[in-house]
Amino acid sequence: MISDSTPYNTPFIMPWEEKPADHRDVLWRYSKNPIIKRDSTKNSNSIFNSAVVPFKKAFAGVFRVDDTSRRMNINRGFSNDGINWNIDDNPINFIPVNNDIPPSDYKYDPRVIWIEDRYYIIWCNGYHGPCIGAGYTFDFEKFYQMENILMPYNRNGVLFPRKIKGQFALLQRPSDGGHTAFGDIFYSESPDMIFWGKHRHVMTTDTRQSGWQSTKIGAGPAPIETSEGWLMIYHGVLTSCNGYVYSFGAALLDLDQPWKVIARGRPYLLSPQKNYECLGDVPNVVFPCAALHNNETGQIAIYYGGADTVTNLAFGRIDEIIDFIKTNKMD
Ligand code: BMA
């Protein structure tokens, strides 16, 4: 049972492909992955960890585009079907909401979510190290940059799709300035998207029962509201003899107090196994940043980066993911 919390009034057709008959796992990959190749814009080195939302009966998105100078930035894109994308060659030119907004050294790993009256965009922002930057747009034409919502160091911020008890709500992961070898998920809230507090610990790593999430964890797409709780899809990292391996899994969080974990899946939902997930600028990475879902059918389409190089799609059904969490939950 899915409750409807997403105020997208415009109907849209989910990008979709049926599950192959002999498929073993809960999620299945789109047969034509990657949907966005590394050279899909003029100067791109790679286009991955990207954020997609329904927009005007079709789709809009904000994409992580690293260019051939290896500058990290975020670009706008549009699509009629959620699969074939037109991505701008140039990064988004944000208008500062006041003269005092510090410029960004870089931007990456965007998330986009509609809350109340606009699309909010948050990303990992370069300001004396990585922190969480924020902005908004009404129309995907003009984009406004707000104050950074979290201080350095932090590289993972994800907004809930609605206020909780009147407050904007955020999942985030404090880190260090490097390729952090630790990381837990925390919850914070704000009355105005500027001042954040009421910080709560949500989840830590696990070495005993779930190796794929033994080094660090971080929220992925905006959590999805269901009658069983917030469905949080999140990435987890394992440190292997060849470096980090990024997979993703899922957990259910309490609807009113999202720092309370109802159930957390032990096995991953998806791990790097295909060439486009294992070969690229950073091998062995699947990294989800967005998901479209249909409340009536329970279909979900998850957008995830592959090997920090390309963008991919995987499909599933929300009820099946929830069953999977509950029947394979950690102690
Ligand atoms: C994280 C971020 C992501 C990236 C991942 C794997 O720290 O930089 O953008 O996908 O590492 O390299």
Q: Residue 2's pLDDT is what?
A: 39
Concatenate the DSSP letters of all residues of 294-329 into one string.
-TTT-EEEEEEEETTTEEEEEEEEHHHHHHHHHHTB
Answer whether 226's CB lies under 8 Å from 208's CB: no
Query: Does residue 14 sit within a domain?
Result: no
Say yes or no: CB of residue 277 within 6 Å of ligand 1: no
- The predicted-structure confidence for 83-104, as pLDDT tens digits, reads as follows 999 999 999 999 999 999 999 9
Give the per-residue pLDDT at 170.
98
Give domain status of residue 298, yes or no. Answer: yes
Residue 7 lies in a domain: no
DSSP H helical ranges for 195-236 = none
Nearest CA to ligand 1 atom 3: 109
Q: Given pLDDT bands bounded at 50, 70 and 90, which one contains residue 271?
A: very high
pLDDT value at residue 5: 40
In a domain, 17, yes or no: no
Total tally of structural domains belonging to the chain = 1
The predicted structure's pLDDT at residue 12: 86
Q: Is 216 in the pocket of ligand 1 (CB under 6 A)?
A: no
Distance 3 CA to ligand 1 centre (A): 32
CA of 295 from ligand 1 middle (Å) equals 30
Task: Give me the chain's average pLDDT, please.
Answer: 96
- pLDDT of the residue at 132: 98
Q: What is the pLDDT of residue 148?
A: 98
Ligand 1 center to residue 109 CA distance, Å? 8
Check pocket membership of 248 for ligand 1, CB cut-off 6 A: no
- Residue 318, domain extent: 23-30+43-327
Classify residue 277: in a domain, yes or no. Answer: yes
Q: In this structure, what token pair is assigned to residue 297?
A: 């059918």
Q: Per-residue pLDDT tens for 38-58?
A: 999 999 999 999 999 999 989
Over residues 108-149, the pLDDT tens digits come to 999 999 999 999 999 999 999 999 999 999 999 999 999 999
**CATH label of the domain that carries residue 221:** 2.115.10.20
> Within a domain: residue 16?
no
**Dist. CA 299–CA 28, nearest whole Å:** 12
Determine the pLDDT at residue 3: 37
Burial of 57 (0-12, 13-18, 19+ CB in 10 A): exposed
236 within some domain: yes
Q: Does 198 fall in a domain?
A: yes
pLDDT average, residue stretch 16-22: 97
**Cross-strand pairs, 329:** 265
Quote the ligand 1 centre to 102 CA distance (angstroms). 24
- Percent helix, strand and coil across the chain, each rounded to 5? 5, 45, 45
| DSSP-assigned letters across all residues of 107-140 | EEEEEEEEETTEEEEEEEEESSSEEEEEEEESSS
When pLDDT is averaged across residues 11-24 and rounded to a whole number, the result is 94
Cα dihedral across residues 256, 133, 280, 290: positive or negative:
positive
